[in-house]
Amino acid sequence: KRVSVVLFCQTGVYYGSKLELRAKPEDDEYWNSSKFSAFTFDDEDDEFTKMKESKRAVNSILVDDDDDDDDVEKVSWSGEPIGSISWSVKETASSFRSSGEQSFPKIDTAPSLPKQGSGYSLSSLFKAFTDTSTRAYAPELRKPKSECKDYMSDWSPEETVRRMRKGRAYSLERFRSLQDKLLLLDEAVSLHDGNVITAVLIYLKRSLSKEILFRELMVREVALRHYVHYLKEMGEQKLLLMQYKEHLNIKDEGRRRDFLKSCLSLPFSQDDAMHVQDHYTLLERQIIIEANDKRGEAEIFRKYPRKASILNMPLITTLYYSCFYHYGEPEGTFSSPANIRKTFRISEKQYILTALGARAKLKSWFDVDSLFNTKNWLGYTKKRSPIGFHRVVDILQKNNAPAQVLQEYVNLIDDPELRLSLAQKYKCHDIVIDTYKDLKDRQQLIVYQGKVERGSHEDRKIEELINNMQIRWKN
Amino acid sequence: MYVIQAAAVRGRCAGCLMAQSGRRDAPELPDFSLLKRLARDQLIYLLEQQHEVDKLYKVELKPIVSTADQLCFLIRPRIQTVKWISDVVNLDKAAGRLRRYKIIFTPQKFYACEAVLEEQGVFGDVTCDEWAFYLLPLDDDIISLELPEFFRENFLEGDQRWVGAAGGALRLIHSLYGPFSKVYGIGQCAKMVYESWREQVEDGEQKTQQPEIGNVFLIDRDVDFITPLCSQVVYEGLVDDIFRIKCGSVEFGPEVTSSDKSIKVMLNSQDKVFNEIRNEHFSNVFGFLSQKARNLQTAYDKRRGMDIQQMKAFVSEELKGLKQEHRLLSLHIGASECIMKKKTKQDFQELLKTEHSLLEGFEVRECVSFIEEHINRQISMIDSLRLLCLLSLTENGLLPKDYRSLKAQYLQSYGIEHLLTFSNLKQMGLLVEQQPGETLTVMESKVGKLVNDKTAGKLTDAFSSLAKKSNFRALSKRLVLIPKSGEEYDLRVPRDMAYIFSGAYVPLSCKLIEQVLERDGWTGLEEITRMLNGHEFAVSGGANGTESRIKADSQRIVLVMFLGGCTYSEISALRFLGRERGYKFIVVTTAITNSGRLLEALLDNHP
């Protein structure tokens, strides 16, 4: 008989490592010799004896019926009685039953302040489901558990949830009245065991109508959050943002667009409604642009073939794309940068940054220039930028701009210190020299002379300057 | 500040590295290899029942091609995975194929998973087991529960499904290395874990044995979000930030190994080179490594002029060790170079400057425009988010106009589907908008006025409205988390835990631990805990006469359990604190985290 073991390795190395190592035997020694090596499944002698040992240990545990009253293990929820080998290590200590004396005291675990809600509180989300009033119909249930000790035959809610926590046999069938069901739920919540809480909720979901369940969950925040999470995991939850999130599962762009359109009517907050609207508009545009550009007939597409489709890209990526492939198109066209900028209310700063990146990539230095050109009322052209020119230089440099272009923009940096450091970094000698001259710093100029080539144009310029008696040097 | 000074530390580094031996009387750590043996033995036992394991597969949620007549799945208890297994079973059934199926859940199964099997009509066809593998010792002083999902499920979804597991882990440690004498804690989850542990201990048996671990500190990750969101600059943390350490092992790619293949390395105290640099500020690492390289060269050079006998001894005794060291050294040098290259490329200096300004509350407007530009240029999506969260946490929320504008720009740059991410971050209190009229400055002026008005009642009202805030500024002032700026901070001779952040910030989480241990409880920290939203506790074990038997050493061994993850930087800080105060810390964490993992857990931009 052969068995295949399928491992789910979320923590990749752990189980995975061994599998890989089988392929690379030379690493084995290192792994196995390390004290913290991954588990091995090799049955070397040593491992084998250890395994035998543990098998004996496990067997002894199985015989050792540590359960209290009955042989519940046979019918246990847990299927088979594997027992937990783990925690009965007896080698180091003699053990005795707790005398019942509480060695560590109980502490109050009641939440003092509710968590800061997101814009959409859980209960408001549920309004989408049910319109029934949120009045608690069984408020008396929240009384201390001592009052409801007296149950007919079986386990009390308290005993039941405790048995569930330990994985022992239990039965929920007898919790039939609403009151009993809610007592059970409250008991589970007071145990702080999410596993048990969810188990009870699954039972309530099966045995209560949606309306009644939600009504009661509204006043039970902890249980409510467990329920929402359970629905989420089961893929059954379709609340507001989750509903919007559904679009990520739709592959076909046309259907995705239509789905986003249907989301527009959802009761989002004002800001979020605008974002969802943008999302829809953006995808609509992208579909149009993609249909045209896919053929790639224009010159630019042949020269710089597209690496990917523009569908589902972020807005800024779309703007960059448009600045790259559709620069200079009239504002009327959907694919033009101007149109995108206007439709999506893109700030000047953001626009300039993106356009700069795209045009610099194409080495269209003329376009780069005109991005910053402004004419004053006398008609003079001046360079102005909503982003610091040092940033402009940085972007140009990353796109391998020629020295001359770089120099022009380094020169535009206002702060002399920053200008100096970038000028030195990119070897714009003239700017360094002029800046020192402006700062009247003769000493630094002399120092800098040592860094330029002897007899060069720069060398002569510095020579001239330091001999110029007209300048009032500060040192 | 962050400066690489490889040359400056030459020669001195071996001496100035923090003393590895620590205080003369530092207690020995307990041996945790037992934990691993227990877990392994149980797994072997479980698999042994299956007879002849033929092949191991990774679950990829794809159809299984196998002719075996039995399939065994070892999985986390996740509904999605169980659904997939149900599909596999139902497909087999439809095809008339008979097989036996077994699921081994680790570390435990959930009722919800079995409910899925029931619903899909395969309950009974599939048998279930549990592999109670709770604790993985990653190193002498680090134990991980390897439950990264703990963070999101507990803090975002409000699902307490892992509380029992954390309590169970604590119970195991208690039964093997306890009994504990004191338990301190802060955070709502910490309280629940404590209660879960206490009840499990009560239910079970108690032992009298020599305790090896005396004190326990439980802390929720949401008590301190700032620390894990900061860029790490200590070597081990940097390696984790850049290469991602998984289960104590890292894969160095070709750019590190300078060959065409990747190498997997275990990073722990067994690696002698790593052990000496792991807790060091990165600026010291180069100096150390080059010194080490010179020493190695000298050791190799000894060969010259040896006669045959000596050479034989050298080869049999020293050469292997030297080669091993050589290998490790070249790996760590490669890693350091790669780190330098990457960090220079992303303008790390500027990024750190912004982080430090935010922590200090200095030039906040400049920080806002830095972040804005970061977003505009579509640089790292996670880094942008990290900076936004740091801004919000340090400033008690963003100004409404900043919030709206930065959120809009973020969505434009990285995709509108991040709407869900923002909603998650808001729910967690990581990225929020200031409530109008409640900025700190407004509050302060309000308070100033009220004092004159003699309306003490209103004063407390005004303060309680701040209760849910992160209150970082006030906390930082009270706990002196930000060392005075302008003072020279010698990173080679750290004077406090701030060295892990270049001397700019003492991690809040570790500072709390230090304070509580020093005061033996929360007395005197009332103001602090109020600003942290309370949920603190300090309890001691019963007076059943064990005190006389408690070894003094065990009292200085402190187990710190991070619920929701901790970073390598925090571990480094605790190691430093331990050396300073004569403690030994054992870190138990639900998982090792860093800013990337923490934020990725909260992203919702994928199906």
User: What are the tens digits of pLDDT across the range A372-414?
Assistant: 888 777 777 788 888 888 889 988 988 888 888 888 889 888 8
Interface contact A98-B202, CB threshold 8 A: yes
Does residue B152 share a domain with residue B214?
yes
Residue in chain A lying closest to B64 (CA): A6
Grade residue A23 by pLDDT with cuts at 50, 70 and 90. Answer: very low
B297 part of a folded domain: yes
CATH (domain of B371)? 1.25.40.850
**pLDDT at B454 > cutoff 50:** no
Does residue B126 share a domain with residue B141?
no
**pLDDT at A250 > cutoff 90:** no
Range with the poorest average pLDDT among A409-423, B234-248, B249-263, B448-462: B448-462
Residue B150: the pLDDT is 94
Name every chain B residue with its beta carbon within 8 A of the beta carbon of A105. Answer: 539
Of B130, B146, B180, the domain-final residue: B130
Looking at this predicted complex, what is its ipTM?
0.77
- 3-state SS string over A105-165? CCCCCCCCCCCCCCCCCHHHHHCCCCCCCCCCCCHHHHCCHHHHCCCCCCCCHHHHHHHHH
Range with the poorest average pLDDT among A189-198, A446-455, B498-507, B542-551: B542-551
**pLDDT at B327 > cutoff 90:** no
Interface contact A85-B153, CB threshold 8 A: no
Residue A116: the pLDDT is 45
- Please report, rounded to a whole number, the percentage of residues in chain A having pLDDT higher than 70: 68
What mean pLDDT comes out for the span A293-307?
84
**pLDDT at B169 > cutoff 70:** yes
B461 part of a folded domain: no
Residue B12: the pLDDT is 32
**pLDDT at B342 > cutoff 70:** yes
CATH (domain of B518)? 3.40.50.1910
B29 contacts B588 by C-beta, under 8 angstroms: no
**Across the strands, what pairs with B218?**
B185, B561
**pLDDT at B105 > cutoff 50:** yes
Name every chain B residue with its beta carbon within 8 A of the beta carbon of A280. Answer: none
What mean pLDDT comes out for the span B271-287?
88
- Please report, rounded to a whole number, the percentage of residues in chain A having pLDDT higher than 90: 18
Residue A26: the pLDDT is 41
**pLDDT at A4 > cutoff 60:** no
**pLDDT at A132 > cutoff 70:** no
Rounded to the nearest angstrom, the minimum Cα separation between B483 and chain A is: 28
**pLDDT at A279 > cutoff 50:** yes
**pLDDT at B324 > cutoff 90:** no
**pLDDT at A196 > cutoff 80:** yes
Question: Chain B contact for A111, CB < 8 A?
Answer: yes
Does residue B119 share a domain with residue B80?
yes
B184 contacts B537 by C-beta, under 8 angstroms: yes
B29 part of a folded domain: no
Of B76, B110, B130, the domain-final residue: B130
Grade residue A369 by pLDDT with cuts at 50, 70 and 90. Answer: confident
Grade residue A42 by pLDDT with cuts at 50, 70 and 90. Answer: very low
Does residue B314 share a domain with residue B375?
no
Name every chain B residue with its beta carbon within 8 A of the beta carbon of A241. Answer: 419-420, 423
Does residue B142 share a domain with residue B125?
no
B261 part of a folded domain: yes
**pLDDT at A330 > cutoff 60:** yes
Distance of CA B503 to the CA centre of its chain: 20
Name every chain B residue with its beta carbon within 8 A of the beta carbon of A244. Answer: 419-420
A21 contacts A27 by C-beta, under 8 angstroms: yes
Grade residue B53 by pLDDT with cuts at 50, 70 and 90. Answer: low
What mean pLDDT comes out for the span A330-346?
91
**pLDDT at B352 > cutoff 50:** yes
Does residue B121 share a domain with residue B73?
yes
More confident position, A131 or A347 = A347
B195 closest CB neighbour out of A7, A53, A106: A106
What mean pLDDT comes out for the span B560-564?
96
Rounded to the nearest angstrom, the minimum Cα separation between A192 and chain B is: 6
B162 part of a folded domain: yes
More confident position, A56 or A451 = A451
More confident position, B41 or A69 = B41
Question: Chain B contact for A16, CB < 8 A?
Answer: yes
B59 part of a folded domain: yes
> Under 8 Å CB-to-CB from B42, ≥6 apart: which residues?
A54, A58, A85, A86, B131, B132, B133
More confident position, B351 or B446 = B351
CATH (domain of B318)? 3.90.830
Range with the poorest average pLDDT among A82-91, A422-431, B34-43, B81-90: A82-91
CATH (domain of B95)? 3.40.50.2060
What's the DSSP call for residue B416? Answer: G
Interface contact B542-A104, CB threshold 8 A: yes
Range with the poorest average pLDDT among A147-156, B83-92, B388-397, B558-567: A147-156
What mean pLDDT comes out for the span B469-490?
82
Residue B485: the pLDDT is 67
Residue B523 sits in which domain range? Answer: 136-224+505-601
Question: Chain B contact for A110, CB < 8 A?
Answer: no
DSSP string across B529-574: HHHTT--EEEEE---SS-GGGS-HHHHTEEEEEEET-B-HHHHHHH
Residue in chain A lying closest to B403 (CA): A271
Q: Which long-range contacts (CB under 8 A, 24 or more apart) does A48-53 make?
A: A50/B37, A50/B41, A51/B41, A51/B44, A51/B45, A51/B48, A53/B41
Domain count for chain B: 4
Name every chain A residue with its beta carbon within 8 A of the beta carbon of B411. Answer: 275, 278, 314-315
Beta strand pairing call for B70-75 and B53-58? unpaired
Q: Which of B355, B432, B421 is nearest to B598 (CA)?
A: B421
What mean pLDDT comes out for the span A185-211?
91
Grade residue B236 by pLDDT with cuts at 50, 70 and 90. Answer: very high
**pLDDT at B589 > cutoff 90:** yes
More confident position, B600 or A96 = B600
Range with the poorest average pLDDT among A412-416, A464-468, B437-441: B437-441
Grade residue B50 by pLDDT with cuts at 50, 70 and 90. Answer: low
B206 closest CB neighbour out of A98, A241, A271: A98
Interface contact A195-B56, CB threshold 8 A: no
Mutation choice for B interface testing from A1, A4, A313 by most B CBs within 10 A = A4
Rounded to the nearest angstrom, the minimum Cα separation between B315 and chain A is: 20
B286 part of a folded domain: yes
Residue B378: the pLDDT is 92
What mean pLDDT comes out for the span B298-323?
80
Range with the poorest average pLDDT among B124-133, B277-286, B441-450, B549-558: B441-450
Does residue B141 share a domain with residue B117?
no
- Please report, rounded to a whole number, the percentage of residues in chain B having pLDDT higher than 90: 34
**Across the strands, what pairs with B365?**
none
Grade residue A72 by pLDDT with cuts at 50, 70 and 90. Answer: very low
Residue in chain A lying closest to B138 (CA): A36
**pLDDT at B567 > cutoff 90:** yes
B403 part of a folded domain: yes
Range with the poorest average pLDDT among B114-123, B226-235, B249-258, B293-302: B293-302
Does residue B220 share a domain with residue B266?
no
Buried b (16+ CB within 10 A) or exposed e, A46-77: ebeeebeebbebbeebeeeeeeeeeebbeebb
Of B298, B321, B340, the domain-final residue: B340
Question: Chain B contact for A380, CB < 8 A?
Answer: no
**pLDDT at A7 > cutoff 60:** no
- Please report, rounded to a whole number, the percentage of residues in chain B having pLDDT higher than 70: 84
Name every chain B residue with its beta carbon within 8 A of the beta carbon of A54. Answer: 38, 41-42, 44-45
Task: Provide the Cα torsion B171, B173, B179, B184; round to 10°.
Answer: -80
Mutation choice for A interface testing from B48, B56, B192 by most A CBs within 10 A = B56
For chain B, the average pLDDT equals 82
Does residue B349 share a domain with residue B334?
no
Does residue B349 share a domain with residue B336?
no
Does residue B117 share a domain with residue B142?
no
**How many CB pairs (< 8 A) connect A and B?**
375
Name every chain A residue with its beta carbon within 8 A of the beta carbon of B42. Answer: 54, 58, 85-86
Rounded to the nearest angstrom, the minimum Cα separation between B144 and chain A is: 11
For chain A, the average pLDDT equals 73
Does residue B187 share a domain with residue B101?
no
Rounded to the nearest angstrom, the minimum Cα separation between A296 and chain B is: 25
Interface contact B112-A226, CB threshold 8 A: no
